Amino acid sequence: MTHILDILEEKRGPPLFSFEYFPPKTDKGVLNLFKRAWRMQKQNPLFMDITWGAGGSTSDLTMKLASNMTKLLGCQVNMHLTCTNIKAETVAQALEDAKANGINNILALRGDPPEGQEKWAATEGGYECALDLIKVIKEKHGDTFGISTAGYPEGHPNAIKKVEDVSKLTASETSRLVYVNGEAWVCHDADYEKELVYLKKKVDAGAGLIVTQLFYDADVFLTFVYRCRAMGIMVPILPGIMPIASRGGFTRMIGFCKTRIPLDVQSKLDAAPDDEAFAKVGHEIVLGICKKVWASGAVPALHFYTLNKDKDVFALMKDLGIEVVDAEAAFPEEKEQIYQKLTELFPVPETTA
């Protein structure tokens, strides 16, 4: 069995990286994702993440994707596993299935509420939080799985609260200030401290790696790393990097996650006259963040939230000095074999007029 930490100890060089995907909603989307995953695996990432839908809504597809990425593509998979609205026996079966399919790494999460449900509620007999999930993984499976967990440089979205009077915020709170639809929000210092204490409990329980929520303020991320180290959290921390490609997608994502956008960053994006200019400005902004956090020496790798696409991620990698292989040109015979096998595994039903 290979854990992500083992790989991190062995690899050195230009920025190391990993990729994250989500289960597509259509058969065609699944097939296209697998083809893209093959091309991206040829870039030699540390690992590839597969998300687990709210309430276990994509659990079967997540397992199928993770299993085939492991067996067919030879990927090192870090499979998400949540405990939101999921029975304990369902979690237990998912871990057994992961082990049986050669999946050695689990990203343990509480997860979001199912669609249409505003607040999270534990299922009777289920788990309350990611800490519970980490504990049960260690208790039932020992060192079988490398366990990673989530970190939130600005505070968990649930801990980010509306601010009535910005002038009363502390300097550290002001540095994390978020604006959503013109309203000020922040994770107050007391809540932020609780977040760090909880994160340390997850690490002490067995999480050996932290993958962070997306962010667009490098200083907030680096302060988060410093605060973690001061708290005694010494495991590797991977920054969550999401490309800025379209105005609509970017706006929806930062609103949902309550993500801080520094004023200078927002000004540059607002000044973009069209979609092409917006994407170009977004690329330069995210590239600058990547360079700053990597140059700090505080992180061992960059974790890319791909949104199931490769173009924008590859552009960032190239500008970071990472060689990007044209997999289809470099491995034409393997491409034909893999694509044929994928078509058999994930057939796309014919549509009728």
Lowest-pLDDT choice from 35-44, 82-91, 183-192, 226-235: 82-91
Report the pLDDT value the prediction gives residue 261, as an integer from 0 to 100. Answer: 97
The domain spans of the chain are 4-154+191-345
| Percent of the chain at pLDDT exceeding 90 | 79
pLDDT grade for 119, boundaries at 50, 70 and 90: low
Q: Among this protein's residues, is 164 annotated catalytic? A: no
Average pLDDT for 169-184: 95
What rounded mean pLDDT belongs to the chain? 91
Q: Which CATH class is domain 4-154+191-345?
A: alpha beta
Lowest-pLDDT choice from 209-223, 257-271, 272-286, 339-353: 339-353
Instruction: Count other C-beta atoms under 10 Å from residue 115's C-beta.
Output: 9
255-298 per-position pLDDT tens digit = 989 999 999 999 999 999 999 999 999 999 999 999 999 999 99
112 pLDDT more than 90: no
pLDDT grade for 90, boundaries at 50, 70 and 90: confident
Exactly one of 20, 154, 173, 195 is catalytic; which is it?
Answer: 20
Average pLDDT for 33-48: 95
SS (HEC) of the chain: CCCHHHHHHHCCCCCCEEEEECCCCCHHHHHHHHHHHHHHHCCCCCCEEECCCHHHCCHHHHHHHHHHHHHCCCCCEEEEEECCCCCHHHHHHHHHHHHHCCCCEEEEECCCCCCCCCCCCCCCCCCCCHHHHHHHHHHHHCCCCEEEEEECCCCCHHHCEECCCHHHCCHHHHHCCEEECCEEEECCHHHHHHHHHHHHHHHHHCCCEEEEEECCCHHHHHHHHHHHHHHCCCCCEEEEECCCCCHHHHHHHHHHHCCCCCHHHHHHHHCCCCHHHHHHHHHHHHHHHHHHHHHCCCCCCEEEECCCCCHHHHHHHHHCCCCCCCHHHHCHHHHHHHHHHHHHHCCCCCCCC
Report the pLDDT value the prediction gives residue 288, as an integer from 0 to 100. Answer: 98
Report the pLDDT value the prediction gives residue 352, as an integer from 0 to 100. Answer: 41
Report the pLDDT value the prediction gives residue 346, as an integer from 0 to 100. Answer: 87
Are 65 and 122 contacting, i.e. CB atoms less than 8 angstroms apart?
Answer: no
Structure tokens at 95: 């871990």
Report the pLDDT value the prediction gives residue 177, as an integer from 0 to 100. Answer: 97
